[in-house]
Amino acid sequence: MRDPAELGSSEGATQRKAIRLFQMVWSGATKFIKGVSMDNQRPIELPGLGIFGPEMTKFQKLRDPLNKGIELKRNNLVDMVKPMRFMLNDDFHSATGLEIDAISNKRVGRYSRDDRRMVDYWFHESLVMPMSWASIARSCMTDAQTVEMVM
C-alpha cells in the first residue's frame, strides 16, 4: 500500500476515507464486544473468528436488574477488571494455521461450528449473542454490509 501523501489528491482522499472507516468500524466493534461481554456478562460471537466472553463460574450470579444508581456503581468498581476467555473457530484456525496452546493458557480454546459442547462447557450454557453489524454501522454512519466487509 502506498503512502497517501504520494498519491494524487482524489486517490489520497479516498484512501484516507477508507482508513478512517476501517478505524471507526474496529473501534465500534471493540466497544460492542466490551459492552456485551464485560458489562452484560454475555459471550458474543464474531462470525468466522470466534467467541469472546467473560470467565464464568458455574454458580455466578448475574447482575440484578433492580439494582441501579450509586450502589451499582460502587459494587461495579470491584468488578471492573474481569477475566475474559476467547474460543477460536476451527474453520478460522485451519485457514490461518495459528498455533494455540489451550493446555497452558486456560483463557484460550477452540470450538467447531458443528460441535459446540466446548462453548457450552466454558460459558456454562449461557446464550451466545451474535455480533450486531447494524448497531456498529449506526455508530459509524454507514450500512451493515460495509461493516461486515470491513470485519
* Average pLDDT, integer, range 24-35: 87
Domain count across the chain: 1
Q: Which DSSP state fits 61?
A: P
Domain assignment of residue 31, yes or no:
yes
pTM for this model (two decimals) = 0.67
The neighbouring-strand residues paired with 88 are 50, 110
Domain assignment of residue 2, yes or no:
no
pLDDT, one tens digit per residue, over 117-140 is: 877 777 776 788 888 888 888 888
Domain assignment of residue 45, yes or no:
yes
- Indicate the average pLDDT of the chain: 76
Residue 136's domain comprises 9-150
Domain assignment of residue 43, yes or no:
yes
Between 103 and 138, residue with greater pLDDT = 138
- C-alpha closest to that of 133 among 41, 48, 38, 28: 28
Domain assignment of residue 1, yes or no:
no
Cα 37 from Cα 122, distance rounded (Å): 14
Cα 82 from Cα 40, distance rounded (Å): 12
* The dihedral sign for the CA sequence 72, 138, 29, 132: positive
Burial class (CB in 10 A: 0-12, 13-18, 19+), 52: buried
* Average pLDDT, integer, range 65-72: 59
Residue 128 half-sphere exposure toward CB, CA atoms < 13 A? 23
* Average pLDDT, integer, range 46-52: 85
Q: What is the reported pLDDT for 126?
A: 72
pLDDT, one tens digit per residue, over 11-29 is: 888 889 889 988 998 888 8
Segment holding 42, helix H or strand E: none
Cα 23 from Cα 61, distance rounded (Å): 36
